[in-house]
Amino acid sequence: MITVRDRQEDRTKSFTDETSPKQSQKSDRKVSIHGQVIREESLRWFRDLLKLYPNDPHETKSVRILEDFHTFPEEFRGRTWVEMKKVRIHVVDSLPYQLNYKEILQEVFRLNDIHKLIESDARHGSEFAKFVKKRVDEIVTEGIIRDSTPHRLRELMRPNYPGGTYAFFIRQEYEPPERPVDLQPFRTKRKSMTAVAVKYAGKAAPVFTPAMDRITPAMRIYSNSYGHFEVRKVLGDSHAFDKGDNKSLSWVRNERDRTVASSLYMGYLDDVWPIDPCVPEYVDDTLGELYDMPSHESEYLQAADIAAGFARQKYERYGIAAVAESFEYVTINGERITQDNAEKQFEYWRQLHERQQRLTIMILTN
């Protein structure tokens, strides 16, 4: 007899778990790494790993496997990586946004330890120090969210030459004014806004990157209605996350709703372009669920946890280049690393780390 299952997991496109690299207690740098397992991909590598831990009562965590992995036979490790590299890795790192303003503050105040002074004065009640600290936090958060996948996708969906405009006829690209970022969802009493933004942007990447991959040059030039239809269809996929942060998932849902609505327009949602007349009369706007669940209830989430752990280890030790070398699909701060941009990305991050080291040395030797 055939049993028909109607589990939510069977209708889910991907499963994502998050991890964070270790940072010193005094560091304000925030990093979030998400591992995304696509349900159609093989989990043989994960099941083979679990066979090595038959006595674990619930689930084998990535920490233990990372500690043991180098002791496994070379053939087994190679076979594991062949399949595990298909797990998608999404990294959000606050370093480039924070470093720019740290260097600006140092240049303005001519003090190597200005960051420590601002932190200390803010703790002791200085209104000026509190203002500077809060303002930098807001600016860094705004930069992270502008580079997040929801904002990038809406930017990609904006045509270079909106129909019915003067720019369309003379083929002059239209550049609308930069829209403000709503910072309210990231305000919290306990955490910095930067920490919240990093987590939110990281959680959005598994939902929005598949739609970004559907954007074609034709859409950018002609506001291709079929392309927008494809984007809406992909955004309707269901995705599961490890249970934990309902607020970040709620923000991702709101961003998805906003992006789906904007896909009906020939430009930005905030622009006044009319609804595309080529959009099919019937469009199924039903969106799949974005939900969370305990990781021990899904082998897909457990596999995502393990893959994210390997990505975290490589990111801690060697940086984004090592992650991109090990996994086929990697994004950092909302941008996918491809053959076309890999060299530029790796050089950019190498220079960032050099600047960070110089700044750290100057502070320590002050």
User: What pLDDT, in 10s, does the model give residues 328-341?
Assistant: 999 999 999 999 99
Percent of the chain scoring above 90 in pLDDT: 51
Residue 146 lies in a domain: yes
Q: How far apart are CA 223 and CA 161, in angstroms?
A: 8
The two tokens of residue 120 are 């200390």
For the chain, give the number of residues. Answer: 366
Q: Is residue 350 part of a domain?
A: yes
Give the residue-averaged pLDDT of 174-179: 64
Residue 149 maps to a domain: yes
What does pLDDT average to over the chain?
Answer: 83
- Picking from 14, 5, 6, the residue whose alpha carbon sits closest to that of residue 238 is 14
| DSSP 8-state assignment for residue 26 | T
pLDDT score of 289: 93
Specify the pTM.
Answer: 0.87
Q: Are 193 and 137 in contact (CB under 8 A)?
A: yes
Is there a domain that residue 309 lies in?
yes
Q: Compute the Cα dihedral for 133, 138, 139, 140 and give only its sign.
A: positive
Q: How confident is the model at residue 106 (pLDDT cuts 50, 70, 90)?
A: confident
In terms of average pLDDT, the best of 6-10, 53-57, 120-124 is 120-124
Residue 247 lies in a domain: no
- Give the amino acid at 91: V
30 inside domain: yes
Whether 319 contacts 58, CB under 8 Å: no
Question: How confident is residue 102, by pLDDT bands cut at 50, 70 and 90?
Answer: confident
**Domain-embedded: residue 217:** no
Which of 163, 190, 191, 283 lies closest to 228 in space, CA to CA? 283
Q: What are phi and psi of 260, to 5 degrees?
A: -60, -40
Give me the pLDDT at residue 224, please: 57
Core vs surface per residue 314-350: b (16+ CB within 10 A) or e: bbeeebbbbbbebbebbbbbbebbeeeeeeebbeebe
Rounded average pLDDT over 185-191: 87
Show the domain range for 46.
8-202+297-364
Residue 220, in any domain of the structure: no
Q: In what helix (H) or strand (E) does residue 293 lie, and over which residues does it extend?
A: strand 290-293
CA separation for the pair 337, 328 (Å, rounded): 9
What CA–CA distance (Å, rounded) separates 307 from 326? 10
pLDDT given at position 277: 45
Does the CA dihedral 296-297-299-302 come out positive or negative?
negative
What pLDDT is attached to residue 6? 47
Strand partners, 331: 90, 336
Q: What is the mean pLDDT of residues 182-192?
A: 89
What does the pLDDT read at residue 178?
Answer: 72
Res. 40 pLDDT band, cuts 50 70 90? very high
Q: Are strands 88-93 and 330-332 parallel, antiparallel or unpaired?
A: parallel
Distance between CA 27 and CA 253 in Å, rounded? 31
* 177/309 Cα distance (integer angstroms): 40
CA–CA distance, 77 with 72 (Å, rounded to integer): 7
Average pLDDT estimate for 101-113: 74
Q: Which of 319, 301, 275, 283 is CA-nearest to residue 93?
A: 319
Q: How far apart are the first and last CA of the chain?
A: 76
Write out the two tokens for 311. Answer: 């990505």
**Which residue in the block uniquely carries the two structure tokens 């270790």?**
22
**Residue 33: beta bridge partners?**
19, 91
Residue found by looking up tokens 């930005």 in the block: 268
Please count the structural domains in the chain.
Answer: 1
